[in-house]
Amino acid sequence: MTSSPATLTTTFALDRLTEIAESLSPQALRSMLAPVFGDDLPETCYQRLHDALRDGALASPDHQIGPQALGKASYDNATRIIHLHPEVIENALRQPQAACELATILLHEFGHHLDNVLRQDFAPRLADGRASVAEDAQGEEGARFAYLFCNVAPLEPGKLTVARLCAGVRDTHLQVDHPALRRFIRLSQGEDAQRADSHNARHEGFSAGGGDKRHPERSWGHGSIEEDLKYAGFNEQQRKAIYFGNWLRDYSQLLDPKLVRAPDAPKDFPAKFSREVLTQLVDLLALKTFPSLQGTPQERSHYVVTPQMLGVYRPSEHIDNPYNPSASTFDPRTIDPDFEAPVAHDDPLLQVDPKTSMKRHIFTSVDYMCERLRDAMATGPTPKGLREFGAALHVLEDYFAHSNYAELSLRKQGHKAVLPWTGKTDCRHAWPVVTGMFAGTDVIASLAEPMAKVLFKTSGSFESITPGQRADSELALLILLRDHPDPKWQAYLQTSLEVRDALADIPGFNGLRRVSWISSSPIRHTQDLMKMGYQAVLNLIGNTVDDLQTLRKDNPNTSGSTNPTHSQLAKDHDVHPLHTLASLMARVAVRNVGLAMYKHWEGGRLLDPVKVARSYFTHPNDSDWQDELVSVWASEHSAEIKRAGKASVFDTPHGHEHPDIDTSVWERIRGLFR
């Protein structure tokens, strides 16, 4: 980390705003900023802001580097200080692309500061001294303010100086290229960021995700679990690149046999999609999710999602039970040879190994994980090596999230009321480790919802005001329409967008509101097209409903089956009573495997990442590393243990306590489009 004390001096955001405002009247400045900060601010606020910018009377807030920042950065409305996490500064020093993130953060947090000044200093007061306007703009004004700068070129060509950093004898001027900064802002501060609101009491922040941000103490996902790799030595960019490989394994599940159209089959939009179109859709999502990894054309080349990189849904890559009891089971390899062969009820893979007391198919997944680890070890900490490492960690994390390992660990310590989700078998420990069936179709529901929010949410007023710029929903629909049997639909959408470009080509910001209104008008005549996009996303869930309803009929705790469903076991979501226990186990395993990989890449050979990772794939009765963790967790979570012993918690459809992604997702996604 940067040596302490370190100071950062910057007027970057203030200078950029001043540069723009110099050529604008107070009315034009209001037209530009009202969509950012809200119509509730009277004209006098913007007049006073215009005067302050013209006279040089608006001060830039102080910037402090320290761990007190909420997330990567946060603005304190009371002290008017922007707090920056040290890792953001360190990354900006080591990697030129990370300076774009720092510049974006400075613009974002200055947006919070400017909103505070407008409302507290420039807005008129009531007779009793209270403010006449709300304390804070609705939504995320920081992201909206930063997004303004996608469309404004600097007056002077060349690099933009973002900040001066002084750390001991080190004095560094951080700079960015405007095209790279513009691209980063567009990807990271778009409509998703503008709809979010990271306000926390008096602090407003620049946040990053993983699990439910509202409950970080008890909600973890693959991304937040992988943040523990910082304790193994990996920097932020490396952790993102590792998570990219992990994230790809989740989204490969979209390429399920029920959704993929064979190359020689006729187009059947929106019931089926080609593998190429679904891959391109995931590539668009990757561009939105990992903008800091793809800021330059060279960096982008490492992260373009290809069919080979993404793959298709394969049970072995997720430790899923490959058995499908459906009578209509067909061989998915007739659609694409990359799918795995169907597994019959008498297949040896479905048997419990008597020595290990584990389902044999689990070791197929272990072999896949080890292959990915070996590839990562050989490739090194390159984009490909980090991606392969992430794919391997996905399997490791899923072992705790998708099996009954947590349940059996609790039963080992005497909590016999916890349901094992399996019948007894003729094996050494009687209750075997099992995983669930049908994660591919189950998880599609959980993936479709965030996809719909990212790609098809109603646009904000700042979207597509630049000719040639496309909203996420428009880019997604252009991709999906490639699979429409009638090419005129894609041609019609393309023509509509070109007409809008011509209308939107109005110089200056004076016409911003007019551009915002005009930009949506051609699309008003293409509502059928947008409905097609919505229907396509909804279809991702529609094909899974029957399977979900059928599979809920069996309860392994009473039937003696060793084939529970993914829904009955999955602890991915924080509503499951054992979510935090499974997540804590995964974090320990990820940290230790991460340390082994980090040391290996540095030249050390004392720890073998493959051996370390493989050691976690045991029955809980054959390992003790988790015992203390389970004991402490159990002492603090008696209510969750009680819930884990009630089958009704898992059987109640649409209940608030229901831990799986059930068919209510269908209605939630429909709600996005009303």
Q: What is the pLDDT of residue 527?
A: 52
- Structure token digits, residue 536: 């396509």
Taken in order 418, 421, 425, 431, the sign of the CA dihedral is negative
Rounded CA-CA distance 387/241 in Å is 6
204, 256: one domain: no
- Over pLDDT 70: what percentage of the chain? 76
Do β-strands 73-76 and 199-200 pair in parallel, antiparallel, or remain unpaired? unpaired
Dihedral of CA atoms 202, 206, 208, 211 in degrees, nearest 10, equals 20
Name the pTM for this structure. 0.71
**CA-to-CA distance for 619 and 197, rounded, in angstroms?**
43
Would you say residue 204 lies in a domain?
yes
Q: What single-letter amino acid sits at 610?
A: V
Q: What is the pLDDT of residue 223?
A: 59
* Residue 420 in domain: yes
Token pair listed for 606 = 């004392």
What confidence category does residue 501 fall into, taking pLDDT thresholds of 50, 70 and 90?
low
Give the per-residue pLDDT at 449.
59
Structure tokens at 505: 């080509």
Task: Name the strand (E) or helix (H) holding 205.
Answer: strand 203-206
- Same structural domain, 133 and 15: yes
Asked if the bond preceding 450 is cis, omega within 30° of 0, the reply is no
Q: Clarify whether residues 42 and 104 are in a common domain.
A: yes
For residues 168 and 267, membership in a common domain is answered with no
Identify the pLDDT of residue 195: 64
Name every residue whose Cβ is closer than 8 Å to that of residue 179 and which is 6 or more positions away in sequence: none
Are the beta carbons of 537 and 448 closer than 8 angstroms?
yes
- Across 641-648, average pLDDT: 85
Give the total number of structural domains in the chain. 2
Q: For residue 385, is pLDDT > 70?
A: yes
State whether 140 and 41 are in the same domain: yes
Residues 6+ apart with CB under 8 A from 399: 319, 362, 365, 405, 586, 589, 616, 617
Is the pLDDT reported for residue 202 higher than 80? Answer: no
C-alpha closest to that of 404 among 347, 349, 359: 359
Q: Which two tokens stand for residue 233?
A: 């030595």
Residues paired with 84 in a beta bridge: 65, 73
- Decide if 64 is inside a domain: yes
The confidence score (pLDDT) of residue 92 equals 83
Contact 14, 49 (CB under 8 A): no
What is the rounded average pLDDT of the residues 228-253?
A: 91
**Which phi and psi (to 5°) does residue 216 adopt?**
-65, -20
- Which of 422, 408, 450 has its CA nearest to residue 565? 422
> Is 611 a residue whose pLDDT tops 80?
yes
Same domain? 161 vs 240: no
Q: How far apart are CA 648 and CA 12, in angstroms?
A: 57
Is residue 292 pLDDT above 70, yes or no? Answer: yes
Residue 601 placed within a domain: yes
pLDDT of the residue at 224: 61
Confidence at residue 550, expressed as pLDDT on a 0 to 100 scale: 38
Q: Which two tokens stand for residue 222?
A: 């693959």
Between the alpha carbon of residue 530 and those of residues 249, 270, 445, the distances in Å are 28, 12, 20
Fill in the amino acid letter for 470: R
**Beta carbons within 8 Å of 306's beta carbon, 6+ residues apart:** 279
Q: Looking at the structure, tell me whether residues 163 and 277 fall in a common domain.
A: no
> Are 566 and 600 found together in one domain?
yes
Please give the Cα distance from 268 to 262 (Å, whole number).
11
**By residue range, what is the domain housing residue 280?**
229-324+344-441+561-657
Q: Is 123 helix (H, G, I), strand (E, B) or coil?
A: coil
Residue 542, both tokens:
């529609």
Q: Is the confidence at residue 163, as pLDDT, over 70?
A: yes
Average pLDDT score over residue span 66-88: 86
In angstroms, the CA 373 to CA 385 distance is: 9
How far is C-alpha 589 from the chain's CA centre? 22
- Number of residues that this document lists for the chain: 674
- CB contact burial 203-221 (16+ within 10 A = b; e otherwise): bbbbbeebbeeeeeeebbb
**In whole angstroms, what is the distance from residue 66 CA to residue 41 CA?**
33
Q: Residues 271, 258: contact at Cβ < 8 Å?
A: no
Pair 355, 406 in one domain: yes
**Is the peptide bond between 263 and the residue preceding it cis, with omega within 30 degrees of 0?**
no
Residue 668 reports pLDDT greater than 70: no
- Per-residue pLDDT reduced to its tens digit, 415-440: 999 999 999 999 999 999 999 886 44
- pLDDT digit string, tens, across residues 245-282: 999 998 998 888 888 999 999 998 877 899 999 999 99
Same-domain status, 119 and 75: yes
pLDDT at 338 over 80: yes
* Sheet containing strand 170-176, strands side by side: 6-9, 160-167, 170-176
Average pLDDT of the segment spanning 121-145: 82
pLDDT at residue 382, as a whole number: 97
pLDDT-based confidence at residue 409 (cuts at 50, 70, 90): very high
Choose one of 143, 175, 208: the last residue of a domain. 208
**175 beta partners:** 161
The reported pLDDT for the residue numbered 529 is: 58
Of 208, 238, 255, which residue is a domain's last? 208
Distance separating alpha carbons of residues 254 and 441, to the nearest angstrom: 8
User: First-to-last CA distance in the chain?
Assistant: 48
How many angstroms separate the CA atoms of 171 and 93, rounded? 11
195 and 234 share one domain: no
Predicted pLDDT at 88: 86
Considering 409-418, 513-522, 535-544, the range whose residues carry the highest mean pLDDT is: 409-418
- Which 3 state secondary structure label does DSSP give 390? helix
Q: Are 246 and 390 in contact (CB under 8 A)?
A: yes
Is residue 399 in a domain? yes
Confirm whether 82 is domain-assigned: yes
pLDDT confidence of residue 384:
97
Query: Does the residue 90 lie in any domain?
Result: yes
